[in-house]
Amino acid sequence: MSVVFKKTRGLTDTPLSYCPGCTHGIIHRLVAECLDELGILDQTIAIASVGCSVMSYEYFNCDSIQAGHGRAPAVATGAKRVHPDKIVFTYQGDGDLASIGTAEIVHAAHRGENITVIFVNNAIYGMTGGQMAPTTLVNQVTTTSPFGRDVSLQGEPIRMSELISTIPGASYVERVMAADPISVRKAKAAIKKGFERQMNKGGFSMIEILSSCNIGWGKNPSDSLKYIKNEMAAYFPLGVYKDKEKPV
């Protein structure tokens, strides 16, 4: 009998700490498969952030550095600058990247750091129990927007891919989602392209992946996937926002 499907070498055997139904696990697998398929796993330094993925250093089967909240792009800058031939990527959520870490992500892109950013946007602070994030949708109920996000008080959700794409130093920015088999395949292609961009010394890449938080959203996993497709993707349009190789 031949093996037609197996666990990727890019992940360790440690059981994931994510809630059942959450799409972090799928995204982890996509990243890990890309690292393995591109043959770069053994030369990679993963930068874990703070949030649901705080333990990602336990799951990615490569060297890892756990960063402070929002600081992953700065930590990645330090590691990449001293080892320019290694592959360095951050794995960050929306609270980490779009709130407390806005300075770090903007300036890593601004400097054109040759790193890859995996940005998992589930429109909520999942790990801390479902508080409002800058990406929380209008009228979405969270523990800190109990009456729904009120634009007059809390502003409209911030669109990070659009923002980062305006920065000259950003090379490749794409928003994808992990909502069904087709979108997951597209997400993998985008992640792979991001790592290839880095391998070619093409500069800063960020792949935003719309993801679910069925627990924080108060929905079942199936409805959560529909919410990504119908509600999130409506406000956060999918697509390539920037694709510009550095002039060699």
**Which residues of the shown chain bind another protein in the complex (CB under 8 A)?**
12, 41-45, 47-48, 54-55, 57-58, 61-68, 71, 74-83, 86-88, 103-104, 106-107, 110-111
For another protein, the closer CB: 27 or 48: 48
Q: Are 72 and 49 in contact (CB under 8 A)?
A: yes
Residue 62 contacts residue 44 (beta carbons within 8 Å): yes
User: CB of 103: closest distance to another protein in angstroms?
Assistant: 5
Give the shortest CB-114-to-another protein separation in angstroms: 13
In terms of CB distance, is 27 or 88 closer to another protein?
88
Amino acid at 247: P
Structure tokens at 215: 């627990």
CB contact at 8 A, 27 and 93: no
How far, in Å, CA of 169 to CA of 244, rounded? Answer: 10
Shortest distance, position 11 Cβ to another protein, whole Å:
12
- The closest alpha carbon to 125, from 152, 104, 145, belongs to 145
Report d(CA 221, CA 211) in Å as an integer: 11
Shortest approach of another protein to residue 34 CB, angstroms? 16
Element spanning 222, H or E: helix 221-227
139: amino acid identity, one letter: N
Tell me whether residue 62 or residue 187 sits nearer to another protein (CB atom): 62
Taking the complex as a whole, how short is the minimal distance between the CB of residue 46 and another protein, in angstroms? 9
Query: Of the two residues 196 and 231, which places its CB atom closer to another protein in the complex?
Result: 196
Q: Which is nearer to another protein, 59 or 241 (CB)?
A: 59
CB of 195 vs another protein, minimal distance in Å:
13
**Cβ closest to another protein, residue 88 vs residue 137:** 88
Minimum distance from CB of 164 to another protein (Å)?
Answer: 14
Q: Which is nearer to another protein, 59 or 125 (CB)?
A: 59
Which residues 6+ apart lie within 8 Å of 78 measured at CB? none
First-to-last C-alpha distance (Å) of the chain? 47
Instruction: Classify the C-alpha dihedral 229-30-80-169 as positive or negative.
Output: negative
**CA 13, chain centre distance (Å):** 22
CB 172 within 8 A of CB 137: no
